[in-house]
């Protein structure tokens, strides 16, 4: 057994002063049981907990750390920026440099606004979509996550096409009335909502590769279908690329799948591990944002010097390595082949799903195509697998509904150790 005394002590202190002892729910290990590990440090592909235990990390801060922990170019950029002041609330050159890089790398973005989190980015993008279309309804997909703004804490009601229901206390029925859910990879359910809400849909928001219900790739024709249906209806298409942006390709999922949205939200990788989000898109839409236009949105720390320095170092590193995404994809393919082999050896039903460096192992009977499939997977088996892997020095996301992330700091040897650990964990 690994020693976790210090994590236990820290957690008992944490729960006294913070709800659930954490600042974001999934960290609390509720989905898998047990005590969360308190992390002391990270370097490359590894993290060390407060008791000195070392783990190969596949959480990677939930996606941002494309080059691993304490990546030297990011660390020195942040350190250097801090020496000149941490925040001014006035324009700085780094904001332009980061915006120029984003505009040059992401196909659909002509203008961009920096914010402080993914939540803020998506919340602001839908305000803009509503303003630009003069419509009120947002259509999203069951199992996709777009941050914790009220408009997205809505599940399908019993008549999914006609109304949504709050999925959290504190969200008003009024807000729920302005959100609809459809099923991922099922254009039929999208069509139904469009029919039921004719002329009322401001935008369709989608994770082009869904990474918050495990990992569900878009099926051929799905994103293209959304593009066509929104264009025909006069609704906007918003790609929430907070997770996929700069992770799956330089230009995100939209580059990978060749579908161009009207608006895109970013976060995670563009902050290099600091709090950053962004939303951008067609210039004629972005020009409606304050102070150029009437749609209000602001932020005291937006475009913060440390965050933009980290983001610039990150995007600079991405540009410097032309075969980065091929390399990540090769690592991913190695992990996929290994884990799939282990499942077959052990005769355990499961589906290892992957796009590039994002992956998920579902203990499901077949492939997971939508939320209902993910929800039906074997959670008890995942819980045991998670804890065995942790014992064996592999830190996976503490939930069966989260994606895992490889970074450029992971090696083939790390992947092979992980496959060996999985073979033992599933014995």
140: which strand partners? 181
Q: How many residues does the chain have?
A: 427
Whichever of 268 and 410 has its CB closer to ligand PLP, that residue is 268
Tell me the closest approach of the beta carbon of residue 122 to ligand PLP, in angstroms.
Answer: 6
Tell me the closest approach of the beta carbon of residue 363 to ligand PLP, in angstroms.
Answer: 22
Whichever of 137 and 144 has its CB closer to ligand PLP, that residue is 144
Q: In this structure, are residues 291 and 118 in contact, taking their beta carbons and an 8 Å threshold?
A: no
Whichever of 20 and 393 has its CB closer to ligand PLP, that residue is 20
Whichever of 27 and 94 has its CB closer to ligand PLP, that residue is 27
State the pairing for strand pair 201-206/46-49: unpaired
395 phi and psi angles, rounded to 5 deg: -100, 100
Counting Cβ atoms within 10 Å, is residue 264 exposed (0-12), middle (13-18) or buried (19+)?
A: buried
Q: Distance between CA atoms of 63 and 407, rounded to whole angstroms?
A: 9
Whichever of 253 and 390 has its CB closer to ligand PLP, that residue is 253
Counting Cβ atoms within 10 Å, is residue 40 exposed (0-12), middle (13-18) or buried (19+)?
A: middle
Of 240, 329, 373, 414, the catalytic one is: 240
Of 101, 111, 140, 268, the catalytic one is: 268
Q: Which helix (H) or strand (E) holds 371?
A: helix 371-375
Tell me the closest approach of the beta carbon of residue 165 to ligand PLP, in angstroms.
Answer: 21
Cα–Cα separations (whole angstroms), residue 393 to 26, 159, 359, 369, 422: 20, 46, 19, 30, 11
Give me the helix-helix angle, 305-320 and 93-105, nearest 10°: 40
* 32 preceded by a cis bond (ω within 30 of 0): no
Tell me the closest approach of the beta carbon of residue 205 to ligand PLP, in angstroms.
Answer: 9
Tell me the closest approach of the beta carbon of residue 274 to ligand PLP, in angstroms.
Answer: 11
Is position 240 annotated as part of the catalytic site? yes
CA 382 to chain centre: 21
Which residues of the chain form contacts with ligand PLP (CB under 6 A)? 117-119, 122, 145-147, 207, 211-212, 240, 242-243, 267, 277
Task: Return the SS3 of 287.
Answer: coil
Tell me the closest approach of the beta carbon of residue 23 to ligand PLP, in angstroms.
Answer: 11
Of 145, 279, 325, 395, the catalytic one is: 145
Whichever of 240 and 373 has its CB closer to ligand PLP, that residue is 240
Q: Distance between CA atoms of 100 and 14, rounded to whole angstroms?
A: 41
- Closest residue to ligand PLP, judged by C-beta, is 118
Q: Distance between CA atoms of 175 and 151, rounded to whole angstroms?
A: 6
**Catalytic residue set:** 145, 240, 268
């Amino acid at each position: 057994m690994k020693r976790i005394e210090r994590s236990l002590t820290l957690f008992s202190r944490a729960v006294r002063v913070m709800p659930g002892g954490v600042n974001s729910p999934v960290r609390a290990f509720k989905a898998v049981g047990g005590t969360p590990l308190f992390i002391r440090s990270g370097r490359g592909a590894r993290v060390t907990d407060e008791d000195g235990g070392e783990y190969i990390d596949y959480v990677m801060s939930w996606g941002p750390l494309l080059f691993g922990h304490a990546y030297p170019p990011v660390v020195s950029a942040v350190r250097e920026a801090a020496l000149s002041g941490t925040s001014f609330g006035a324009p700085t050159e780094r904001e332009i440099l980061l915006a120029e890089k984003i505009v040059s790398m992401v196909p659909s973005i002509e203008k961009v606004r920096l914010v402080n989190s993914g939540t803020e980015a998506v919340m602001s993008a839908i305000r803009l979509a509503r303003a630009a279309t003069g419509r009120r309804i947002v259509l999203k997909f069951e199992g996709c996550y777009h941050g914790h703004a009220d408009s997205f804490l809505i599940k399908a009601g019993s008549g999914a096409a006609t109304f949504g229901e709050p999925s959290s206390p504190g969200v008003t029925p009024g807000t729920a009335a302005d959100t609809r859910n459809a099923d991922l990879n099922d254009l039929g359910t999208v069509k139904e909502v469009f029919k039921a809400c004719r002329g009322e849909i401001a935008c369709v928001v989608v994770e082009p590769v869904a990474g918050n219900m495990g990992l569900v790739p878009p099926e051929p024709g799905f994103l293209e279908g959304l593009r066509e249906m929104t264009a025909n209806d006069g609704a906007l298409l918003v790609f929430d690329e907070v997770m996929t942006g700069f992770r799956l390709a330089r230009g995100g999922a939209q580059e990978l799948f060749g579908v161009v949205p009207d608006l895109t939200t970013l976060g995670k990788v563009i902050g290099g591990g600091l709090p950053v989000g962004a939303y951008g898109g067609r210039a004629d839409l972005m020009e409606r944002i304050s102070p150029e236009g009437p749609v209000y949105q602001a932020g005291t720390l937006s475009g913060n010097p440390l965050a933009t320095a980290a983001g610039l170092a990150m995007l600079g590193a991405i540009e410097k390595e032309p075969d980065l995404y091929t390399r990540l994809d090769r690592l991913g393919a190695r992990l996929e082949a290994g884990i799939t082999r282990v499942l077959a050896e052990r005769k355990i039903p499961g589906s290892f799903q992957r796009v590039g460096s994002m992956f998920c192992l579902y203990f499901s009977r077949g492939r997971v195509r939508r939320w209902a499939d993910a929800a039906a997977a074997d959670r008890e088996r995942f819980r045991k697998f998670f804890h065995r892997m942790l014992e064996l020095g592999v830190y996976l996301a503490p939930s069966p509904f989260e994606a895992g992330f490889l970074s450029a700091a992971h090696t083939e040897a790390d992947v092979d150790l992980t496959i060996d650990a999985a073979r033992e964990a599933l014995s």
